[in-house]
Structure 1
Amino acid sequence: MGSIIRYYRTKLGIKQYELAGDVCSPAHLCKIENNPNEGNDETINLLLEKLGIDLEKELQKESNLKYTYEEFVNNIRFVNIDQAQRQFNTLKNNQVFIELMEFHNHYQIMLIPFYIITEQFKELEDQRNLCNKISKSFNKDESILFEMVKGLYYIHKSNYRKAKIILLDTFKKVNVANVPYRGDMDYALALCYYNLNEYERALNSTIFAYRYYQNEDNFQKIGYCLAVLADSYKNLNLKEEAEITYKKLIRTSEMLGNNKLLNKALYEYGLLQKNKVILEETLTLFDLSLEKNNCDVSIQLELILSKIDLMMKNNINKDKIQKYIQYIKKLSVQIEDRTYYFLALYYEYKIEKPSQVNHFIENKLIPFLEKSDCSSKLIIYYKELADHYESIDLKKSLYYLKKCMHKNNEYSNLAHII
């Protein structure tokens, strides 16, 4: 209560000697305000009474804020973004009181993953700098949490080597059984291994995280783990395990309504299929997903583009592909989004004018994407031009390969970032 007394005394413009009066000495009041163990109940109550503070209301406010903060942390970990945002708004409106409470350092640390999942990147950098400044005031548990969060920060920055070093070092410093948010640590480490092409280690860490998330019914994170598992199996040429895991990912992402994961799972599962019947069934699942999301235009367009790409790679029904292309062009004009129009044109060139597709990529598509907010899509087109020029213009090939590598370091697979 000392912090509460100091807050209201300062707010009301009352000097320490004025409040102390006949209750206690100014020196004793100073100790009460700065040391939670100072002051007996009688003295505290008299000081609160002089300030006009309702003790029950203050205790209830503290209890409510503690509960809100606990829910805020859970919703960050369970990737419930809308709910986390609402709780953040409540906590932000009570920032003064948060600073008086025992969890204030924990709160400052947890704002870093919150800003990552809500894509508030300017706030993220400011918060990271703040936490670095106040890190000397962290207790042991807060320091461990901050190390883990720093690992997540560097994963967000695609600096997987640095993130891996931080996370492994954190594991060495503590009793592994008592690591807070152990599943999150394992999952973060799995992301590092996966993006550093250490797929066997990625599998092991992801399996630990997967079991942890199963025990706490963290279904969104289970879906993310399945994505890493499936991709790791695929990169280790374990086709059967990859297929089984992608099928699990399809079911899980449908249940969660996570359309980014579903789109990825359908596409990757389709690429693995050589059996025409199974491939046609997979393409049908794209249509079912479209029916479920007929109100979300961006999801519709992403699903159709993925389906077109899958059909193109397997030479399936070019007439139907043309219909999809025309549908995307028409819809993108209606919603005034030129990005999807250009991406549809790319596939149109591949079908109707294959000899001109690289000219279109280099002179139309890439310049447009570089100016737009969708520059993360550039990687595949840089790579396509690098491959095209490899045998005819090595200098140009290296130029686009460098751009591809730079962009690849800037962006990561959406299914692998939290």
Structure 2
Amino acid sequence: MIEGKLIKFYREKAGMTQGQLCEGICSITHLSKIERGVTEYSGEITYLLSQRLNISLDEEFVSYQNLQQKLKLWHDTFVMQQSKKSEMLKNEIEKEALVQLPEFQVFYQLLSARYYISHYQLEPALLIIRNLQKNESSLSQQDRNMLKHVFGMYYFYNGQYRDCIQILTTIDQSQYHQFEYYYHLAVAYHLIDSNITSYYYAEKALHYFRKTLNIIRIIDTETIMLLQLNAKELHNFKETKERYEQLIRTCDTINEMDRKSKLLNNLAFELYKRKKYRESADTYKEAMDIVDEKVPHYLTILDGYIQASSKGKLLSNKALLELAKNGLRIAKLTKSYNQIFFELHLFQLKNEEKEYYQFIETKALPYLKKMGFTILIQEYERKLFQYFMQTDAKEKALQIASSFMQSEAMKYGDGPPAS
């Protein structure tokens, strides 16, 4: 019973033994049974116990129920992407003494880890995860699966997409119904170039977000599905553009500028692939203009803008160099993996061919392989292969060709998992 839990919590908080609390009120055995919720008790006894603890059980019972509700609402803010409300609830929950109750602690810790992950504070998140894993066998099935979900998100935000997939696919969906994790699987599979599987999980995520009326995440999921349609071969551009514009209008309606900038970035990339360099650069520029440079995907947009402007000869070499230097500066400040792309831009813009390919071989490719960026690995392996063939470095070219064939062979296993 909740009253017993509250009495035990405040007794331990006050540093009192059971004997000290119940002296002159009831026996230690009776108090022990009250705290464990295994006996009936009179209101008079619990009133006297609460008086000695200097608490009101009625007020604490209300606080207990309110905290329970706040924790659920805090969880919902992560799924709904409501950052301001999340911050407000976090501050309120941290002031609640009852959050230290054992039955709230695991859920609270898992939500705290999600909070840190959403703010790219990965070290404190990992510390919480590791501490919870030490006692994983004692967790409920719900909490064990949520721990896997949070750990998968940690891997995702850390760029470890294969590790993310490995742990998220072990979630028992019969016991865990927070199907938001389908979306994380869809994005992770997209980033390792498993397009069919990505689309499969995106469809499942879209069904969940529509069922829960989560408009923001519907936009996110439809964006991933659009990317998959154009991944292997270019989809009908008129239809692709119309769908992007529809999603962009939805972002305008709900004032979601961050998501609008991502959609504009993706549309710009589709234009770039179709060699519409001026339209691409203009769209990248529009995306940059509505997002702060401190936002992680700003660098992705800037990288695309430099590529489109360079390919279309839309800016002078001097202007492109300044953009690349600025991108490198921001990447270093934020410790972003995008740093490697701006270094490559600088080598190219300075016509330092040898240094460019040496950097790809010794820095870029090893990092991309470590992080599992399949699409980028293949792109740079092709470039390196051609360079080695041109410079008569046949042995190195054969090594690259072998690596490329292995990665191509892995694609034949790309299909939806068994249900």
Verify same fold: TM over 0.5: yes
Q: Is the alpha carbon distance of 1:332 and 1:390 closer, same or farther for their aligned partners in structure 2, counting shifts above 3 Å?
A: closer
The answer to whether the Cα contact below 8 Å between 1:246 and 1:268 also exists between their aligned partners in 2 is no
Q: Deviations over 1:174-209 (max 9, x none)?
A: 5xxxx5223x14323434544564423322321231
Partner of 1:128: 129
Q: Deviations over 1:242-294 (max 9, x none)?
A: 555444555456642226624541332223435x4xx5444323333344347
What amino acid is aligned across from residue 204 of structure 2 in structure 1? F
SS of 1:166's equivalent in the other structure is coil
Q: Is the alpha carbon distance of 1:285 and 1:271 closer, same or farther for their aligned partners in structure 2, counting shifts above 3 Å?
A: closer
Q: Deviations over 1:204-254 (max 9, x none)?
A: 321231232234343442233133212211224251265554445554566
Distance 1:9 1:101 in 2: 14
The answer to whether the Cα contact below 8 Å between 1:250 and 1:266 also exists between their aligned partners in 2 is no
What amino acid is aligned across from residue 136 of structure 1 in structure 2? S
Partner of 1:4: 6
Aligned residue runs from structure 1 range 233-382, under 5 A: 233-237=229-233, 239-240=235-236, 242-248=240-246, 250-251=248-249, 255-258=255-258, 261-262=262-263, 264-274=265-275, 276=276, 280-293=278-291, 303-312=301-310, 315-318=311-314, 320-322=315-317, 324-325=319-320, 327-328=322-323, 346-347=344-345, 350=348, 353=351, 356-360=352-356, 362=358
Partner of 1:25: 27
The answer to whether the Cα contact below 8 Å between 2:257 and 2:291 also exists between their aligned partners in 1 is no
Q: Deviations over 1:388-409 (max 9, x none)?
A: 544132555548998xx99xxx
Q: Deviations over 1:66-104 (max 9, x none)?
A: 33312210122123345434533443454x522326443
Distance 1:112 1:383 in 2: 37
Aligned residue runs from structure 1 range 199-210, under 5 A: 199-210=195-206
Q: Is the alpha carbon distance of 1:145 and 1:88 closer, same or farther for their aligned partners in structure 2, counting shifts above 3 Å?
A: same
Q: Is the alpha carbon distance of 1:325 and 1:130 closer, same or farther for their aligned partners in structure 2, counting shifts above 3 Å?
A: same
Of all paired residues, the percent bearing the same amino acid is 19
Partner of 2:49: 47
Partner of 1:414: none
User: By how many angstroms is 1:52 displaced?
Assistant: 1.5
Q: Deviations over 1:358-413 (max 9, x none)?
A: 42463699779999xxx999x679647633544132555548998xx99xxxxxxx
Q: Is the alpha carbon distance of 1:370 and 1:236 closer, same or farther for their aligned partners in structure 2, counting shifts above 3 Å?
A: closer
Distance 2:328 2:221 in 1: 37
SS of 1:258's equivalent in the other structure is helix
Partner of 2:384: 386
Q: Deviations over 1:323-366 (max 9, x none)?
A: 6425526867998969999966754654563xx33424636997
Distance 1:132 1:17 in 2: 35
The answer to whether the Cα contact below 8 Å between 2:116 and 2:122 also exists between their aligned partners in 1 is yes
The answer to whether the Cα contact below 8 Å between 1:328 and 1:341 also exists between their aligned partners in 2 is no
> Are positions 1:107 and 2:102 aligned together?
no
Selected match of 1:166 from 170, 188, 200: 170
Partner of 1:226: 222
The answer to whether the Cα contact below 8 Å between 1:226 and 1:246 also exists between their aligned partners in 2 is no
The answer to whether the Cα contact below 8 Å between 1:362 and 1:385 also exists between their aligned partners in 2 is no
> Are positions 1:181 and 2:183 aligned together?
no
User: By how many angstroms is 1:21 displaced?
Assistant: 2.2
Q: Is the alpha carbon distance of 1:400 and 1:298 closer, same or farther for their aligned partners in structure 2, counting shifts above 3 Å?
A: farther
User: By how many angstroms is 1:49 displaced?
Assistant: 1.2
Q: Is the alpha carbon distance of 1:227 and 1:126 closer, same or farther for their aligned partners in structure 2, counting shifts above 3 Å?
A: same
What amino acid is aligned across from residue 282 of structure 2 in structure 1? T
More displaced, 265-274 or 141-150? 141-150
Distance 2:387 2:271 in 1: 29
Q: Is the alpha carbon distance of 1:130 and 1:349 closer, same or farther for their aligned partners in structure 2, counting shifts above 3 Å?
A: closer
User: By how many angstroms is 1:140 displaced?
Assistant: 4.2
The answer to whether the Cα contact below 8 Å between 2:278 and 2:309 also exists between their aligned partners in 1 is no
In the alignment of these two chains, the number of paired residues is 385
SS of 1:181's equivalent in the other structure is coil
Distance 2:141 2:364 in 1: 50
The answer to whether the Cα contact below 8 Å between 2:116 and 2:124 also exists between their aligned partners in 1 is yes
Distance 1:139 1:268 in 2: 45
Q: Deviations over 1:130-176 (max 9, x none)?
A: 33233333334434444544554555532255235414xx13x45xx
SS of 1:10's equivalent in the other structure is helix
What amino acid is aligned across from residue 28 of structure 2 in structure 1? P
What amino acid is aligned across from residue 127 of structure 2 in structure 1? D
Structure 2: give runs of 5+ residues left out of the alignment. Answer: 408-419
User: By how many angstroms is 1:26 displaced?
Assistant: 1.0
More displaced, 61-70 or 46-55? 61-70
What amino acid is aligned across from residue 265 of structure 1 in structure 2? N
SS of 2:305's equivalent in the other structure is helix
Structure 1: give runs of 5+ residues left out of the alignment. Answer: 407-418
What amino acid is aligned across from residue 234 of structure 1 in structure 2? N
Partner of 1:411: none
SS of 1:237's equivalent in the other structure is coil
SS of 2:135's equivalent in the other structure is helix
The answer to whether the Cα contact below 8 Å between 1:229 and 1:245 also exists between their aligned partners in 2 is no
